[in-house]
């Protein structure tokens, strides 16, 4: 079975790191793209991130090149898991959705939109 390609938005932040940790070795998903601020864009993930979690940075993402928001429309991922702060999440998540990705977000920006499903665990 081919895995579903996913992007992590806000990949260098703590929430993004947790998404990466949770998706490591997932049977359905493969992390294929990482997005972070312009300070991190163009660097390998291991050079861009200040890893905060107890585990090691997963080998599967260490050498991925962090992308900038200018590249969102070129992403090939089917799903974006967003760890972005609400102050920047709205525009970037909207652009991901408009380019065909399903977006999973914790940010408040679209919670009350009629077309946006709200999941309550």
Inside any domain, residue 65: yes
Inside any domain, residue 84: yes
Output DSSP code: residue 6: E
- Considering its fold, how many domains does the chain have in total? 1
Q: pLDDT tens-digit profile of 52-65?
A: 999 999 999 999 99
Question: Low-confidence residues of the chain, pLDDT below 70?
Answer: 111-112, 116-121
Inside any domain, residue 117: no
Is the whole model's pTM more than 0.85, yes or no? yes
Domain with residue 37: its CATH number is: 3.40.50.720
Partner residues linked to 8 by β-bridges: 34, 81
Inside any domain, residue 35: yes
Domain interval for residue 33: 4-105
Inside any domain, residue 121: no
Inside any domain, residue 90: yes
Reduce the DSSP state of residue 119 to 3 states and report it.
coil
Non-local CB neighbours of 41 within 8 Å, separated by 6+ positions: 66, 67, 68
Inside any domain, residue 60: yes
Q: Which two tokens mark 1?
A: 């079975």
Phi-psi region of 10 (alpha: psi -120 to 50; beta: other; left: phi over 0): left
Inside any domain, residue 58: yes
Question: Which pLDDT does position 112 carry in this prediction?
Answer: 64
Alpha-carbon distance 83 to 105, whole Å?
Answer: 7
């Amino acid at each position: 079975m081919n895995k579903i390609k996913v992007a992590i938005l806000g990949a260098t932040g703590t929430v993004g790191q947790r998404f990466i940790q949770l998706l490591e070795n997932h049977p359905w998903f493969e992390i294929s793209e990482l997005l972070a601020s312009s300070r991190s864009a163009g660097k390998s993930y291991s050079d861009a991130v200040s890893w905060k979690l107890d585990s090691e940075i997963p080998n599967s993402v260490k050498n991925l090149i962090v992308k900038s928001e200018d590249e969102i429309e070129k992403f090939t991922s089917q799903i974006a898991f967003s760890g972005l702060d609400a102050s920047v999440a709205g525009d970037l998540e909207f652009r991901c959705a408009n380019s065909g990705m399903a977006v999973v977000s914790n940010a408040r920006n679209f919670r009350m939109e009629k077309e946006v499903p709200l999941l309550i665990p």
